[in-house]
Amino acid sequence: MGATIDIRSLTKTFGVGPAAVHAFGPVDLTIESGSFVSLLGPSGCGKSTLMLMIAGLLDASRGEIFFDDRKVEGPRTDIGIMFQDNTLVPWRTVEGNVALQLELRGLDPRDYADRIRDLLRSVKLDGFQRRHPYELSGGMQQRAAFCQALVHEPDTLLFDEPLGKLDAMTRESIRSDLQTLWMQKRPTVVFVTHSIEEAVQLSSTVCVVTPRPGRIERRIDIDLPWPRNLEVKASARFTQYVREIQGIFHDYGVL
């Protein structure tokens, strides 16, 4: 089970004086251990800013974040991160890029050889282990980045629109992999998306974020059975959740 993430009175303002941009907050939010929480909000409302602060890669202007009882005070290496733009380095092969995440954490990739192979196979990249990123399609690169986020078996995952640039079929297939992984291991997942359907399909809780400065307007617990397969997605209750959230964005004037 992953950590409980406690966000307390968190605010971020970029710059000072008249040019300052109040990007986010104040926000109080508890992300329970083992939950899958999506942040759903319009462009520019501060979702990526929040993710960077949770990862310890960006300082808050005010407020604090705790992982269980440990305050976030610098970059965390015990979490898995995946962004919309992947972090593959061009001079390494696919398996070398996945191994890099281990090396950065002082782990020996040789101890993880089976895991790397299994992960790459699970996202259908077997046969491409020795290729370089430029030899892969955009979707294949994102699938390799997915393996990078998971290779060190983190129990907390931060995903910032990881599937945004994928084609519909790859997207659905990675959603399903992610859902299976979450059901089996119950990491704490924070997941940013623009897609209401994706948020409802994957999440135990959807947090609706207001336009900038982002605040959590609503927390909606998604009470649907797992796995959220095509049958669940076709159900009346699934559609009700989607409509409810669409209604909130309509009231903001962003839909």
Ligand X SMILES: Nc1ncnc2c1ncn2[C@@H]1O[C@H](COP(=O)(O)OP(=O)(O)OP(=O)(O)O)[C@@H](O)[C@H]1O
List the one residue from 3, 11, 40, 46 that touches ligand X (CB under 6 A). Answer: 46
Closer CB to ligand X, 99 or 192, in the complex:
192
Distance of alpha carbon 116 from alpha carbon 100, whole angstroms: 11
Question: Least distance in Å: CB of 12 to ligand X?
Answer: 8
Question: Least distance in Å: CB of 165 to ligand X?
Answer: 12
Assess contact for 205 and 21: CB atoms under 8 A.
no
Closer CB to ligand X, 23 or 79, in the complex:
23
Question: Least distance in Å: CB of 63 to ligand X?
Answer: 15
Total chain residues near ligand X (CB under 6 A): 12
Distance of alpha carbon 110 from alpha carbon 190, whole angstroms: 30
Question: Least distance in Å: CB of 220 to ligand X?
Answer: 18
For 69, phi then psi, to 5°, come to: -105, 10
Q: Name the segment binding ligand X (CB under 6 A); options: 39-47, 108-116, 216-224, 238-246.
A: 39-47
Distance of alpha carbon 143 from alpha carbon 127, whole angstroms: 14
Site for ligand X in 48-87 (CB under 6 A): 48-49
Site for ligand X in 170-229 (CB under 6 A): 212
Distance of alpha carbon 49 from alpha carbon 191, whole angstroms: 13
- Please give the span between the terminal C-alpha atoms of the chain, in angstroms, as a whole number: 36
Tokens of 4: 């409980």
Three-state SS letters, 160-208: ECCCCCCCHHHHHHHHHHHHHHHHHHCCEEEEEECCHHHHHHHCCEEEE
Question: Least distance in Å: CB of 157 to ligand X?
Answer: 17
List the one residue from 1, 44, 70, 138 that touches ligand X (CB under 6 A). Answer: 44
- Determine, following the binding rule CB under 6 A, whether residue 23 of this chain makes contact with ligand X: yes
Residue ranges binding ligand X (CB under 6 A)? 14, 21, 23, 41, 43-49, 212
